[in-house]
Structure 1
Amino acid sequence: MMNGQARNRRKNQELCGKNFLKFVIYVFTFIFWLTGCAFLAIGLWILFAKHSYASLLGSSTYPIATFLMIGIGGFIIFSGIMGCGGARSENRCLLVLYAVFLLLIFLVEAISGVLAYMYEGIIREELSRNLNDTMMKNYKYDVHLTQAVDDMQQNFLCCGAVSFKDWQKSKWLQEDKNTTNKAPDTCCMSYSLGCAEDDHPSNIYYEGCSPKLAKYTKESLMIIGGIGLGLCCVQIFGVIFSCCLVRKIKDKVYKY
């Protein structure tokens, strides 16, 4: 009789421990799923709202960090659904796979954050080196890049990479004999066709775009790096809880 009561007590304790772990995984996965939605939303926002000047940067680091963030968000949402399913059905294979996915997400988030912070430190130097060369050689010859330059000059109220004088060395102005412009019309304070024929400071912006583009891009990279490094450690707790639940289920299988 006493042995039966002791066995029942142990079974109840094991059941309570297992149910507690399942509850913890449900709560963790819900929070984890919300972070995935946040990753996806912020990544898409950076892509559509802040990605228009990526072609001017001369490096693929910024686009890679952005797409990594979007990919992480989608993968987190998928993994969260799988984790809840594994906990509900007490499926050891799904829970182990969930733990492996959490480790992968941890690594990718860390890489994304480190890439963002590394690139944030060298972006001004890279822009000073590459932006002027890119603009002077490709403006009016590359439709996508031309649109990016025009948008940048209008939105940042600037002209050229370092100053408006950069345009005097551009391939476009040197080869186009039909234009009397001193710079693109998007350098004008009040835009109109042919407005940049006069390069007086009351008519066009004299300040270059490089410092403003560097600041703008740094803000995006700080968001990517902060979120990536700030949330990557959360996955470790999910791995621990998942492994504990797998152990509980494993013990039950061996016992019965």
Structure 2
Amino acid sequence: MYLHIHCFVFFNFRMEAPGEKTHTCGTICLKYLLFLFNILFWLAGGAVLAVGVWTLVVKSDYISLLNSSFYSASAYILIAAGVVVIVTGIIGCCATLKEMKSLLIVYLSLLLCIFLLELIAGVLAFITYQELDEELRQNLKVTMQQKYQQPGEESVTQAVDKLQQEFKCCGSHNYSDWTDSVWIQTNDQLVPDSCCKTPTDLCGLRDHPSNIYRVEGGCIVKLEEFLLSQLYILGAVGIGIAFLQLVGMMFTCCLYRNLEEDPY
């Protein structure tokens, strides 16, 4: 009984001072919860920004192997989304601390817009991945055969070598894809040196299983797995931020209603 009375008094207690706004403790608690949410939202924006930069900088070598701009575009979208989330979080903090109802409406609208854009982006990403996967299967072999070690195609050569070494594979579908390579036909090697388990100069003269990688499905399977893992990362980040946004919209609506009801 005592605890019930104590809680009732606590949540309905009003701190009054001449010339100051008076709020119930419920409104004050909402303000701090929304402020805490904005801190988390701001950190989430930083995480999205970091993932976008990491995707663009660390894994950008493979962009030259894709005719589609999906990979680089997704990285730029992540960077832009991170900046928007950070700015939205700052607006939310200002609206919460200064109790500006008009700014709260702007903040709520931004949260809703970002949430809807995330849903649209998720659907488009899934559809685009299916198209990218088919395009990858059709074009990777031709790209490796016609552009590897050719003048002006240094980025492709670097990407192919990194792909074969990092994923421990050789050729698009298997090592025999290199037989029709423009570069191989003008050299004595059977495969590039990057196909070797222990890369050394001219190690590609031998295509014995003890010397080169013979992964089932070749590099195409490995690259597909990599792109799919990137999609999972984007999806996980998006779901996490979407959940935060739903919580933030709920807190914002409650705070706005309480500010409307609280006497000044």
Query: Is TM more than 0.5 here?
Result: yes
Match of 2:140 in 1: 131
Is 1:234 paired with 2:234? no
Report the equivalent of 2:37: 28
Provide the C-alpha distance between the structure 2 equivalents of 1:144 and 1:129, rounded to a whole number of angstroms. 20
**Do the aligned partners of 1:22 and 1:87 also contact (CA within 8 Å) in 2?**
yes
Say if 1:159 and 1:206, in contact at 8 Å, map to a contact too.
yes
Q: What residue is the counterpart of 2:224 in the other structure? A: 214
C-alpha distance in 2 between matches for 1:107 and 1:133: 39
TM-aligned CA deviation for residue 230 of structure 1 = 4.0
Per the TM alignment, residue 222 of structure 1 is displaced from its structure 2 partner at its CA by 0.8
Aligned 1:34-53 pairs, distance under 5 A: 34-53=43-62
Unaligned runs of at least 5 residues, structure 1 = 1-8
Contact 1:61 1:115 in 2 (8 A): no
**Higher mean C-alpha displacement, 93-102 vs 62-71:** 62-71
Deviation of residue 121 (structure 1)?
5.0
Ranges of 4+ aligned residues in structure 1 off by more than 6 Å: 9-12
- Unaligned 5+ residue runs, structure 2? 1-12, 17-21
Match of 1:62 among 63, 67, 71: 71
Q: 1:154 aligns with which of 165, 169, 181?
A: 165
Query: Which whole-Å CA distance do the structure 2 matches of 1:189 and 1:128 have between them?
Result: 24
Q: Could you tell me which residue of structure 2 aligns to residue 192 of structure 1?
A: 200
Equivalent in the alignment of 1:6: none
Q: Deviations over 1:201-246 (max 9, x none)?
A: 3322233211111112211211111221343143133234324434
The residue type equivalent to 1:168 in the other structure is T
> What fraction of aligned residue pairs are identical, expressed as a percent?
40
> CA distance change for structure 1 residues 11 and 154 in 2, over 3 Å: closer, same or farther?
closer
Question: Aligned to 2:56, what secondary structure does the other structure show?
Answer: helix
TM-score by length of 1: 0.81
Q: Is the Cα contact below 8 Å between 1:140 and 1:146 reproduced in 2? A: yes
Aligned-pair Cα RMSD in Å: 2.8
Q: Does 1:173 align with 2:173?
A: no
Give the whole-Å Cα distance in 2 for the aligned partners of 1:10 and 1:180.
87
Higher-RCO chain (CA-CA 8 Å, sequence separation at least 6): 1
* Aligned pairs for 1:92-131 within 5 A: 92-120=101-129, 124-131=133-140
| Contact 2:163–2:219 under 8 Å retained in 1 | yes
- Distance across 1 between alignment mates of 2:50 and 2:120: 19
* Aligned pairs, number: 243
* Local SS of the residue matching 1:231: helix
Deviation at 1:10, TM superposition (A): 9.2
Do residues 73 (structure 1) and 46 (structure 2) align? Answer: no
